[in-house]
Structure 1
Amino acid sequence: MSKDNKRSTQSGAARLLGSATSAIFELGVFHPVDTISKRLMTNQTRVASLSQFNQVIFRKHAAEPFGKRFFTLFPGLNFAFSYKILQRVLKFGGQPYVNDFLNQNFMKSYDSLFGSKTGKAMRSATAGSVMGLFEVILLPLDVLKIKSQTNPEAFKGRGVLRILKDEGITSLYRGWGWTMARNAPGSFALFGGNAFAKEYILKLENYDKATWGQNFISSIFGASASLIVSAPLDVIKTRIQNRSFDNPESGVTIVKNTIKNEGITAFFKGLIPKLLTTGPKLVFSFALAQTFIPMYDNLFKKA
């Protein structure tokens, strides 16, 4: 049996802790960046000056000193903390299990279709896509995070329990289909781009043996591919989720209105800022997870 066809020896605890640690570091460094990205995506006006940019990002706090404005970029931190840790554990910790399954049961099929090297990368990409679909179960936390970042008026002083009572759990799953449509190709590109970089650029035989620098380089390829592929659906998803609870709008309606009022390029609105802001966040988190998981596993084996 080849190396690829053997089940990974990494423990579940290492995968969980490694993914959770990367999420905590990511949140601490990049939550303000995420808020800026979400506000740019939900903005439907043309930003042609620094003053307008300032207004979009800081809103009613735009005229305040920068110190005060900066701390307005941390709304929804409680939702973000829960969502981000669960999301990263599910995606980064769960993908290796699906990859193990594919290696065990479908290795020959992939290799016959794509060749051994590309087949190995494609299995990693497919496993990532599967976990991207499963992320939809965390959608309520994502919705609450995005609303608190872009439309805090939707809360009107209400807590989570009151929102669930008033709106029902189904309102927090609004846009679930668009979310899955965005997550599947986005996660496929993330893990696929990462694997292709390790296979063809870094020429690694064992991905788990990659150094921090190699994980960082491969994560750049994966994150960039993921953001570009998922950009149009991410705009639709964000606009669905940032609407007030009492004024929902379907994804189809948003697509029609966006094309009519803003043109097709609107589906890539915020892509450059996203590549410059969200890109480093994803690279940072993904590289950390790929480094921490083997590190924790080695520590557990030595204990």
Structure 2
Amino acid sequence: MAPVTGSRQSESGVARLLGSGSAGIAELMVFHPVDTTTKRLMSHQSRITSLSALNKVVFREYASAGTGKKFTSLFPGLGYAAAYKVMQRIYKFSGQAYVRDFLTAHFTPQFTATFGAGTGKAMLSATAGSLIGIGEIILLPLDVLKIKRQTNPEAFRNRGFLKIVGDEGMGLYRGAGWTAARNAPGSFALFGGSAWAKEKVFKLEDYNKATWGQNFVASICGAAASLIVSSPLDVIKTRVQNKNFENPESGMRILANMVKNEGIGSFFKGLTPKMLMTGPKLVFSFWLAQTLIPAFGKVV
């Protein structure tokens, strides 16, 4: 069986930084209102039975306002979102590549022996994604503040960033366990689904040789798999994070209340808008990063 090592051309650190950072900025500019809409739907804890009710859930106090005010109301927490999203994409898309390179250099024989040459390479990429996804909790405070701004702005009570950090301390890492539990399978599916498509559908030996169209299809496969796999834990994570700072609620209590009061289907709340709206966001940023990183690698 052919080894995985040498089947791809590694990119420079600068190329990874520029490609992933550019993808994060572009995603933020296009999709922040979509992210706000999804988070508000996921946080809503009763059935939405009419368009009027949906309007109130999404736009809140601006439900009766004009189109312009409604649109701008979907941009709360943009500063936190900018810091979080750009750092997250740099960490995730660049970091996965470094972990993948490490696994390739040290564990290629094990992956090849277990899964075969082609599938082993895809599984190695997926495993690197899962490991980097778990470590993503280091950015959790920025994610918490972004979500609270989007879904529960009352929690800020006119406090600035430094005041909140001083007041809350490690409380900003509330939900870290649920975040790691969501990220591990979600990132595994994202990078694994993309690698599977490149390996099995397009028969690529070097994933960096994928065309923009092949990267786009591979990103769809990875994003769809990631959203479906991570949805139940993502709902719990969002509800843990959007509570008031002084009135937290544990993930297990939220889980129990969801089963008791809302049923199993509640674990997939927001999945449809996530697939329709967040899905394209993830596809867009992942496709852009996969396309730009090799492109920057040719010039830097």
Q: TM-score surpassing 0.5?
A: yes
SS in 2 for 1:204: coil
**Counterpart in 1 of 2:185?**
185
**Counterpart in 2 of 1:209?**
209
* 1:1-150 matches, cutoff 5 A: 4-6=4-6, 8-150=9-151
Contact 1:8 1:100 in 2 (8 A): no
Work out whether 1:259 is the aligned partner of 2:248. Answer: no
What is the CA distance between 1:8 and its match in structure 2? 4.3
**Counterpart in 2 of 1:171?**
171
Whole-angstrom CA distance in 1 between matches of 2:113 and 2:248? 47
Contact 2:20 2:90 in 1 (8 A): yes
Amino acid at match of 2:205: E
What is the CA deviation profile of residues 244-271 of structure 1, one whole-angstrom value per residue up to 9, with x for unaligned ones?
0011000000001111110111000110
What is the CA deviation profile of residues 196-242 of structure 1, one whole-angstrom value per residue up to 9, with x for unaligned ones?
01111122121001111111100000000000000000000000000
What is the CA distance between 1:56 and its match in structure 2? 0.3
Contact 2:224 2:275 in 1 (8 A): yes
Whole-angstrom CA distance in 2 between matches of 1:228 and 1:102? 26
Going from structure 1 to structure 2, the CA distance change for 1:194 and 1:9 (only over 3 Å counts) comes to closer
**Counterpart in 2 of 1:278?**
278
What is the CA distance between 1:67 and its match in structure 2? 1.4
Contact 1:18 1:292 in 2 (8 A): yes
Contact 1:129 1:186 in 2 (8 A): yes
Whole-angstrom CA distance in 2 between matches of 1:3 and 1:146? 43
* 1:215-226 matches, cutoff 5 A: 215-226=215-226
Contact 1:193 1:222 in 2 (8 A): yes
What is the CA distance between 1:3 and its match in structure 2? 7.5
Whole-angstrom CA distance in 1 between matches of 2:53 and 2:151? 16
Whole-angstrom CA distance in 2 between matches of 1:53 and 1:204? 44
What is the CA deviation profile of residues 164-209 of structure 1, one whole-angstrom value per residue up to 9, with x for unaligned ones?
2222x21100010010000000000000000001111122121001
Structure 1 runs (4+) greater than 2 angstroms displaced = 6-9
Amino acid at match of 2:196: F
Whole-angstrom CA distance in 2 between matches of 1:58 and 1:227? 24
What is the CA distance between 1:101 and its match in structure 2? 1.1
Whole-angstrom CA distance in 1 between matches of 2:256 and 2:3? 49
For structure 1, which segment, 94-103 or 120-129, has the greater mean C-alpha deviation from structure 2 after superposition? 94-103
**Counterpart in 1 of 2:287?**
287
SS in 1 for 2:49: coil
Amino acid at match of 2:27: E
- Structure 2 unaligned spans of 5+: none
- How much is the aligned-residue C-alpha RMSD, in angstroms? 1.2
- Structure 1 unaligned spans of 5+: none
- Report percent identity of matched pairs: 63
Contact 1:128 1:188 in 2 (8 A): yes
Amino acid at match of 1:75: P
SS in 2 for 1:106: helix
What is the CA distance between 1:4 and its match in structure 2? 3.4
What is the CA distance between 1:9 and its match in structure 2? 3.3
What is the CA deviation profile of residues 29-83 of structure 1, one whole-angstrom value per residue up to 9, with x for unaligned ones?
0000000000000001111111111000001110001111010000000000000
Q: How many residues align?
A: 299
Contact 2:188 2:226 in 1 (8 A): yes
Whole-angstrom CA distance in 1 between matches of 2:59 and 2:27? 22
